[in-house]
Structure 1
Amino acid sequence: MLRVLTLSSLFPDASRPNFGVFVEGQMLGLAAHPDVALKLVAPLGLPPWPLGHRGRYAQLSALPQHEDWKGVETWRPRFLNLPGTGGRFHAAMLTRALVPLLSRIRRDFPFDVIDASFFFPDGPAAVALGRRFGVPVSIKARGADIHHWGRAPATAAQVIAAAQAADGLLAVSQAMKADIAALGIAPDRIRVHHTGVDLTRFAPRDQGTAKAALGIDGPLIVSIGALIPRKGHDMVIDAVSALPGVQLRIAGEGPERPRLAAQIARLGLEDRVRLLGSVAHGDLPPLLAAADVMALASSSEGLANAWIEAVASGTPIVIPAAGGAAEVVTSPAAGRIAGRTAPAFAAAIGELLAAPPARDAVRAAAAGFTWEANTAALYDHLSGLVASRAQSSG
């Protein structure tokens, strides 16, 4: 039996059910493996009192520190998040918080490996903890954890040092692997580990019925992602403004909402463009099945789950050449990789609306992205690290 301690600061909770839902999917898949026993540690970074009990942090402070999360024993320890430091002390504070907790967990659950499912601050902390408890460590890179923290002056050295010291490295796409290698890490130490999608839930449906349920008659574009500058929702809005009669629904929440609402009003698009706010992950399948195109103009990604969920639903995508885009858009039916400008997006969306690909042909692009494949590869990776450690120790 492989005993796995999964560590991820990017993970859903009762106050943020969509936060890191793809990490949850990976964890639940591995936990269900017949030869795996798994415990989860999902830390919460909070600023010092009283800030840690106010505003957006109040709900996090109120979360239980120990609970059963969908059948998995879960701890949510708090670590000190010092504002204004650029994340410089995140990993050290996380390590300090986790040493006593992992010492207690280890009494009854002598974990064989630490599986860090996000690179920062989890990765550097996992390396320190792996050394302390004498177990191998795997770290997975997903996107912003490398693109931001791996380049930020206060944290880049910590990310690189953790990558060099980890026993195993995972990257969510070939492009992400190249980005890690660009930090000076040997490419042969990095294994590509694609995300998964539930092909039962995300599947084509009767599009007319799905649109009618949304009160839409005509072409529908959907964009899914947090309302932050990196996701490029403003660019998709501009693109749709050039496509008469086309509706746009944006699922996500974030600080850019007021600016995007003002843009929609300025362009006179209130009757065609709607900000849906945060949409529960379980409510995304009918929205994607209704759409003619899913368009997301991100400036950077690892390999967005929204891409995979869209094509699994039979909905082609329009995305820039960001991250693993070329690993998903492998045929014209899957969609278009467009220049990251509103005119380029409008042209690509227009092409797909004029000649819609067969939805089963679109869905074929998702065939290799299953949670079953994700689980099998992760088990092989982690068990291999444990076997290598045992062999070197023997």
Structure 2
Amino acid sequence: MRILLVSQMYPSAEEPDFGVFVQGLERELAALGHTIERVVLDRRGGGKRRHLRLAVRTWRASRRFRPDVVYAHFLVPTGLSAGVLTRAPLVVTAHGQDVANAAALAPVRLATRLVARRASTLIAVSGWLRDSLEATVAEARGKTEVVNCGVDLERFRPLPRDAGAGAGPRFVCIGSLTERKNV
């Protein structure tokens, strides 16, 4: 299958943690024999124009590559631009903040409704997120599947009990270490 992968987060040499989960999915899809064409943003910043440039690149790639399916990460803006500018069946993964934005902002909610109508399937990374998306956007009901991002068990595995930092509570945070996460 020919898959056009569109994401506003993807790792680079400068930002190796930025959207690493998208890279992992891409790697596994390719290992299954799919042909992947990638249209991504691989660094933070750059203002709102970067999303316009990503949309133009998405349109061009879809015309040149002729995908069997377009797989977008994040409902808005990438799911919206992929949905409007491509013709192939659309699958979009919601990751969290995109659903919160739809709940809080009427224009984003309207755009998310368009994405949900256009998408063949929506994916939420947790049951809670699916429930939140379906409560916010009626068009998502009945077409949202839960697929968590998973854990690389070769890279992350339990240590022996005596390998810890000593007595006392331990705190583990899974996520990107950005200021807005308040960690």
> CA separation of 1:17/1:186 partners in 2, compared to 1, >3 Å: closer, same or farther?
closer
In the alignment, the residues of structure 2 paired with residue 99 and residue 12 of structure 1 have an alpha-carbon distance, to the nearest angstrom, of 22
Change (3 A) 1:123 1:169: same
Counterpart for residue 18 of structure 1: 17
Structure 2 counterparts to residues 154-233 of structure 1, below 5 A: 154-182=107-135, 183-209=137-163, 211=164, 216-224=165-173, 225=175, 226-229=177-180, 231=181, 233=183
Deviation at 1:220, TM superposition (A): 4.7
Q: Give SS of 1:26's match.
A: helix
CA distance in structure 2 between the partners assigned to 1:185 and 1:149 by the alignment: 13
Query: CA contact under 8 A between 1:5 and 1:38: conserved in structure 2?
Result: yes
Report the counterpart of residue 75 of structure 2 in structure 1. 119
Q: 2:99–2:133: 8 Å Cα contact kept in structure 1?
A: yes
Q: Is the 8 A contact 2:6 2:40 kept in 1?
A: yes
CA RMSD, Structure 1 to Structure 2 (Å): 2.4
Question: Cα offset for 1:38?
Answer: 1.5
1:113–1:136 Cα contact (<8 Å) kept: yes
What CA deviation, in whole Å up to 9, does each residue of 1:111-163 have, x standing for no partner? Answer: 211001222211001101223xxx11111111111112453244221122111
Q: 2:170 aligns to what SS in structure 1?
A: strand
TM-score w.r.t. length of structure 1: 0.41
Looking at structure 1, the residues matched to 59 and 140 of structure 2 have their Cα atoms a distance apart, in angstroms, of: 30
User: Residue 130 of structure 1: which of 73, 86, 97 is its match?
Assistant: 86
State the TM-score, normalized to the length of structure 2: 0.83
Which of the two has higher C-alpha Rg? 1
Q: Distance in 2 between matches of 1:130 and 1:228?
A: 34
Change (3 A) 1:4 1:42: same
Structure 2 equivalent of residue 46 of structure 1: 46
Structure 1 position 98 matched with structure 2 position 58: yes
Measure how far apart 1:232 and its partner are. Answer: 5.1
Moved more, 200-209 or 172-181: 200-209
Contact 1:173 1:192 in 2 (8 A): yes
Cα drift, residue 186 of structure 1: 4.6
Q: How many matched pairs? A: 178
The residue aligned with 2:32 is 33
State the AA in 2 paired with 1:38.
I
Task: Give unmatched runs, 5+ long, in structure 1.
Answer: 48-78, 82-89, 234-394
